[in-house]
């Protein structure tokens, strides 16, 4: 059965009131707070239909109702109007992020900002090496047989490795190696570098081939084979702000899920370009998060997605405000990465 505009208006009012008050919503309160243009009896009838259709439920024997996961989903898909951020909020985001001094600082500022603005748990994935491009490779001589290899990605991520060479090497040869590697790899996506690294060995002059072979092994390990991803988390204390009905009365499963980095990556790391995803309650694949909602999106310079970010909280969430904030912060971080 489809819902008419009046019943949809009643559902919207119930969601907005419950999110704001943390209290089950009754028909009398709806009529008093909202310009629904109908009598309390009509609102009661509409609430009965919404309950029958599974959009609201009665948590206990009081007259009040609360939205179900299905009700929140309909609200997000059809009823919510994304709240535009005020000019002051936009300036605050811009100023806070613009003060970052390096990639670590960008990520930590971003996760703190998301937690403060949404009053939820914020999660930010560091830019993934696999999705980045090579900006520059540096070879720093430590001794005649030892080099420091520094890989700088276009996202600002930096990886350093020590390389033990099979034989002593001259300073001029180090310069030649550095130039050859940069000419071959700069601007290439890291996941596409293996055949080019292999070609470096084949194209090397004979006396540099042993050094290039050793360097190539370390390069492949650094550029391709190291898959560990890093996550930053903030705002866990915000979980305790809610009412008794949030998280079905127990925070423990949610806290246990937040301790697992693999779980966090699954929540926010699998986002398609320019997609914002909202998963509500049972839509979450992770059992411990079936009482939570997750709003996530990808971020990166231009159209390139290099990582994910998002927030997690109770299903009783300010979806319009949260969606607008996550979207805006992701856009600013993308612009910051593009500039740097």
128-140 tens-digit pLDDT: 777 788 999 999 9
Residues sharing a CB contact under 8 Å with residue 235, sequence separation 6 or more, in sequence order: 111, 112, 114, 115, 116, 118, 119, 120, 121, 122, 311
Contacts 24+ apart (CB under 8 A), 47-50: 47/10, 47/14, 49/1, 49/3, 49/7, 50/3, 50/7, 50/10, 50/11, 50/14
Helices 87-98, 319-339: axis angle to 10 degrees equals 40
Instruction: For residue 10, give both structure tokens.
Output: 């009643």
With CA atoms as reference, report the closest residue to 13 among 84, 61, 79: 79
Distance CA 190, CA 224 (A): 6
Q: How would DSSP label each residue in 38-100?
A: S-HHHHHHHHHHHHHTTSEE-SSSSS-BEE-HHHHHHIIIII--PPPPPHHHHHHHHHHHHT-
Q: How would DSSP label each residue in 275-311?
A: -EEEEEGGGSSSGGGTTEEEEEEEE-STT---EEEEE
Distance CA 169, CA 122 (A): 48
Beta-strand relationship, 231-234 and 158-164:
unpaired
Distance CA 255, CA 307 (A): 23
User: 97 vs 243, which has greater pLDDT?
Assistant: 97
Residue 220: exposure state from Cβ atoms within 10 A (0-12, 13-18, ≥19): middle
270-314 tens-digit pLDDT: 666 568 899 999 999 888 999 999 999 999 888 888 889 999 999
pTM (global) more than 0.85: no
User: 122 vs 28, which has greater pLDDT?
Assistant: 122
User: With pLDDT > 70 as the criterion, what percentage of the chain qualifies?
Assistant: 95
Q: Mean pLDDT, to the nearest integer, of 25-47?
A: 89
Distance CA 149, CA 161 (A): 5
pLDDT averaged over every residue in the chain: 89
Please give the radius of gyration of the chain, using alpha carbons only, rounded to the nearest integer.
Answer: 26
245-267 tens-digit pLDDT: 788 778 888 999 888 888 888 88
Residues in the chain: 340
Task: Region of 116 please: left (phi>0), alpha (psi -120 to 50) or beta.
Answer: alpha
Instruction: For residue 50, give both structure tokens.
Output: 């919404």
| Ranges 80-94, 218-232, 243-257, most confident | 80-94
181-208 tens-digit pLDDT: 999 999 998 888 889 988 999 899 999 9
Q: Mean pLDDT, to the nearest integer, of 134-157?
A: 91
Instruction: For residue 331, give both structure tokens.
Output: 């856009």
pLDDT at 112 over 70: yes
Cα–Cα distances (Å) from 50 to 4, 207, 250, 287, 320, in that order, read 11, 79, 27, 27, 22
Contact (Cβ atoms closer than 8 angstroms) between residue 13 and residue 33: yes
Residue 154: strand, helix, or coil: coil
Confidence of residue 225 (pLDDT cuts 50, 70, 90): low
Distance CA 44, CA 188 (A): 62
């Amino acid at each position: 059965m489809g819902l008419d505009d009046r019943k949809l208006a009643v559902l919207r009012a119930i969601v907005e009131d419950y999110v704001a008050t943390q209290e089950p919503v009754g028909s009398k309160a709806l009529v008093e707070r909202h310009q629904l243009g109908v009598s309390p009896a009509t609102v009661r009838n509409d609430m009965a239909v919404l309950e029958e259709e599974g959009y609201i439920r009665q948590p206990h024997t009081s007259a009040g109702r609360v939205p179900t996961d299905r009700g929140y989903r309909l609200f997000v898909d059809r009823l919510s109007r994304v709240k535009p951020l005020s000019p002051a909020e936009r300036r605050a985001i811009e100023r806070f992020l613009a003060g970052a001094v390096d990639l670590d600082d960008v990520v930590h500022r971003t996760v703190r900002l998301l937690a403060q603005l949404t009053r939820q748990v914020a999660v930010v994935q560091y830019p993934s090496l696999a999705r980045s491009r090579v900006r520059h490779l540096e070879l720093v001589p430590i001794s005649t047989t030892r080099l420091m290899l520094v890989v700088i990605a276009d996202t600002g991520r930096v990886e350093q490795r020590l390389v033990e060479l099979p034989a002593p090497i001259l300073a001029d040869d180090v310069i030649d190696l550095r130039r050859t590697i940069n000419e071959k790899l700069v601007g290439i996506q890291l996941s596409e570098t293996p055949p080019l690294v292999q070609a470096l060995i084949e194209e090397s002059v004979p006396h540099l081939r042993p050094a290039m072979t050793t360097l190539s092994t370390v390069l492949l390990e650094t550029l391709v084979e190291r898959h560990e991803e890093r996550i930053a988390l903030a705002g866990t204390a915000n979980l305790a702000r809610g009412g008794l009905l949030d998280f079905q009365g127990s925070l423990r499963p949610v806290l246990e899920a937040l301790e697992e980095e693999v779980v966090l990556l699954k929540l926010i790391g699998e986002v398609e370009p320019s997609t914002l995803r909202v998963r509500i309650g049972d839509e979450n694949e992770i059992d411990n998060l079936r009482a939570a909602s997750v709003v996530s999106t990808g971020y990166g310079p231009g159209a390139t997605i290099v990582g994910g970010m998002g927030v997690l909280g109770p299903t009783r969430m300010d979806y319009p405000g949260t969606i607008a904030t996550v979207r805006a912060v992701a856009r600013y971080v993308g612009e910051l990465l593009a500039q740097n």
